[in-house]
Chains A and B, each alone.
Chain A
Amino acid sequence: MEKAYSTIAQMRKGVLEMCVVAAISSREAYASDILERLKNSHLIVVEGTLYPILTRLKNEGFLSYRWEESNSGPPRKYYSITPEGTAFLSELRSGWDELVNAVSALIAVNNQTETTETVNTSEI
């Protein structure tokens, strides 16, 4: 369903920023590493999406980077998380957990209500 695809894309879009921060939080990473992880989890489709997010996060002070010479290619930008970034991420995480719990509960409740309603109707 076309509509469902676009809605799911919107959901992914919403969590993309958090995922980028999370991907960098465990260890230093350069763009290709991050891209690989995000692509594996189908969070992004085209690579161009990543760069503006990285720049924005860096400008906001959540990420920093250093240049590292590469023996096989051009120098690479290695991103790492800043203390502000760690705080930001933990806030995002709690927000995410809350959202997931609330949404799961809501979906579950809805399922139950539907069932009860069906039962009621059949009784009548």
Chain B
Amino acid sequence: MKKNFSVNIGGRIFNIDDDAYESLNNYLARLRNFFATEQGYQEIIADIEMRIAELLDLQKENGNPIITLKHIEDVIANMGEPDQLSDSETERPQSAPGIKTRGKLYRDRDNRQIAGVAAGIAAWFGIDPVWVRLIFAAFTLFYAVGIIVYVVLWLILPVAQTTSEKLEMQRQSININTLRNELASAGTGIQKTGSSLLHSIGTFIRFVTEVVARVFTFLFHLIGRLAGLAMLVGVIFMFIGISAASLVREEMNMGDYQLDTTTLIHALQWLVPGPDVRWLAYIAIFLFLIAVTGLLIYTGLRLLLKWPPLRWQVVIVFVLLLVAGILTGVGAIFQYARSTERVASVTKRQSIVMKANHLHLASGPNEYKQYFMPLAGDTIPGNVNYALGEINLSLRPVPADSLFVTFINSASAWQESQATGYAGNISYRYNLQDTLVTLNPYFMIPQTDGMRYQKLDVIIGIPINTIVEIDEPLRWRANYSDFIENSRDGGTLIMTTSGLKLKNPPVAESDTLVQTN
């Protein structure tokens, strides 16, 4: 059963189904909108209606007393939809559907955060308002330029109120399709004009509070978006940094040791010696990085572009990755601790008969790069990258005429034999020549050995009453307790039974000392 009624089309009476009537009515409305800008468009519509009546009349003659939806559809196919008609338009080529026109700037209150300025600009450019807002925010950092421009635009730009203005704002030409889409999306939202807003104090206060609330929510959103942007940028820079560091060779300061030019990967090999421990560390870092960067990127996108929340399955995957990364990391640390539990040391002694009662302790090479270069006659294999460690220097009094020099190399490893091997790999440059002792403030280890807590204690036994001069870098390597009365700060020293002392103490005291002597 269908409802039907009679209508007057082009001066003729037809019996028509409810849905057919609806369809025909919509079609005529679409045509009216399409021809709305044409001069004398009512006449065109009347002519078309007349022709439709003629076509429907044929149906009636063919024995169809009631016009159905099918008939109307045939008629529409015969007459053509507005976009088909626009094809043959010669006078309005700019009105093809969806084509961008020059448009006009409006404020877009439908998508506003404060007053719709940014949304209106974004609509004109056809981009997401976020970018416009970010630009405003960025320019606000320069003497509040962003805020000033915003307020000026707020004052001069009109609000897009009608549907055609909204389309113009989006630089869409107005035709039946765009209007239809616009109307469909507009729903029941009917805009009131803002001109009467300020008429009473009550509405004014409401207006102000609304603006303040909007400013705050906007700032809140903006901060969120900026944080999101910062996260994304941070992740990008982190990757650039890691890949650059992995590829670029540079000198690195790793805790107590200095690495010769090396890449990040080699630095990691140095820090985490032993393939098993290293692989555990690699896996831990990898898992951790995936989880952390994944979450950072997602959170950034969610804050910046308002992505939907993650599904719980994805969250679980991230959490598992994180937990696995942490567990592997703990395993690596445990394994690493085990691999350094044995300490071994290698001791080397040398003594020289002193010919004079003075001694000069000179610092080795003065140029930093030269610390890495072996002295002539050293047995250091070439083409190996070295790490430098600082020596521990002890200067002790000996009741003898000879200079005693002791080197204690030590290192840690899982097994003592390994530790001994690493200790033996420590190479050190020094030179003993009568009264001149040249010491390198650093010792060297092949980088391939890795960090095994290598240490080098240099103990120099100096005959009592020897006058000692120590170069600056070495003074700071030496044990503080070997010096008496701040004598480490500089000056000519003399070895006493209790340690090094200033040979010429400060003036006032030295006078009395000389007199008593």
**A75 contact set on B, CB distance < 8 A:** 11
A23 within 8 A of B: no
- Contact present for A45 and B40 (CB under 8 Å): no
**B31 contact set on A, CB distance < 8 A:** 48
A14 within 8 A of B: yes
B20-62 interface bits toward A, Cβ cutoff 8 Å, 1 = contact, 0 = none: 0000000000010001001110011001101101100100000
Distance A13 CA – B437 CA, assembled complex (angstroms): 103
B10 within 8 A of A: yes
A44 within 8 A of B: yes
B80 within 8 A of A: yes
A108 within 8 A of B: no
- Contact present for B54 and A45 (CB under 8 Å): no
Which residues between 416 and 470 of chain B lie within 8 Å of chain A, taking CB atoms? Answer: none
Which listed residue (A46, A72, A73) contacts B79, Cβ 8 A?
Answer: A46
Interface size on B, residues (CB 8 A): 29
CB distance from B412 to the nearest CB of A (A): 78
Which among B11, B12, B80, B91 has the highest number of chain A CB atoms within 10 Å?
B80
B89's nearest neighbour on chain A, judged by CB, is: A52
Distance A59 CA – B40 CA, assembled complex (angstroms): 8
B85 within 8 A of A: yes
A54 within 8 A of B: yes
Q: Interface range on chain A: under 10, 10 to 19, 20 to 34, or 35 or more? A: 20 to 34
Which among A44, A45, A55, A77 has the highest number of chain B CB atoms within 10 Å?
A55
- Contact present for B57 and A51 (CB under 8 Å): no
A17's nearest neighbour on chain B, judged by CB, is: B90
A49 within 8 A of B: yes
- Contact present for A51 and B51 (CB under 8 Å): yes
- Known A-B contacts A54-B47, A73-B54, A73-B57; the reply to A13 vs B11 at CB < 8 A is no
**B81 contact set on A, CB distance < 8 A:** 46
Distance A55 CA – B35 CA, assembled complex (angstroms): 12
Distance A54 CA – B43 CA, assembled complex (angstroms): 10
Distance A16 CA – B50 CA, assembled complex (angstroms): 22
Distance A47 CA – B54 CA, assembled complex (angstroms): 13
Distance A85 CA – B89 CA, assembled complex (angstroms): 20
- Contact present for A77 and B88 (CB under 8 Å): no
**A74 contact set on B, CB distance < 8 A:** 10-12, 50, 53-54, 57
Which listed residue (A49, A54, A59) contacts B88, Cβ 8 A?
Answer: A49
Which listed residue (A17, A52, A55) contacts B85, Cβ 8 A?
Answer: A52
A92 within 8 A of B: no
Which residues between 72 and 101 of chain A lie within 8 Å of chain B, taking CB atoms? Answer: 72-77
A115 within 8 A of B: no
CB distance from A77 to the nearest CB of B (A): 7
**A52 contact set on B, CB distance < 8 A:** 35, 38, 44, 85, 89
- Contact present for A45 and B80 (CB under 8 Å): yes
- Contact present for B54 and A14 (CB under 8 Å): no
Distance A46 CA – B84 CA, assembled complex (angstroms): 8
Distance A54 CA – B79 CA, assembled complex (angstroms): 15
- Contact present for B40 and A46 (CB under 8 Å): no
Which listed residue (A16, A17, A44, A77) contacts B47, Cβ 8 A?
Answer: A77
Distance A23 CA – B39 CA, assembled complex (angstroms): 23
A109 within 8 A of B: no
- Known A-B contacts A14-B90, A51-B44, A55-B47; the reply to A32 vs B54 at CB < 8 A is yes
B313 within 8 A of A: no
A102 within 8 A of B: no
- Contact present for B47 and A59 (CB under 8 Å): no
A9 within 8 A of B: yes
B191 within 8 A of A: no
**B256 contact set on A, CB distance < 8 A:** none
**B44 contact set on A, CB distance < 8 A:** 51-52, 55
- Contact present for B48 and A51 (CB under 8 Å): yes
- Known A-B contacts A46-B80, A51-B44, A75-B11; the reply to A13 vs B54 at CB < 8 A is no
A29 within 8 A of B: no
- Contact present for A32 and B51 (CB under 8 Å): yes
B87 within 8 A of A: yes
Could you jot down 9 A-B contacts, CB within 8 Å?
A13-B87, A46-B80, A46-B81, A47-B51, A48-B31, A48-B85, A49-B80, A55-B40, A74-B57
10 additional contacts, CB 8 Å, given A32-B54, A73-B57?
A17-B90, A48-B31, A48-B48, A51-B48, A51-B51, A52-B89, A55-B40, A59-B39, A72-B57, A74-B12
Q: Which residues of A contact B (CB under 8 A)?
A: 9, 13-14, 16-17, 31-32, 44-49, 51-52, 54-56, 59, 72-77
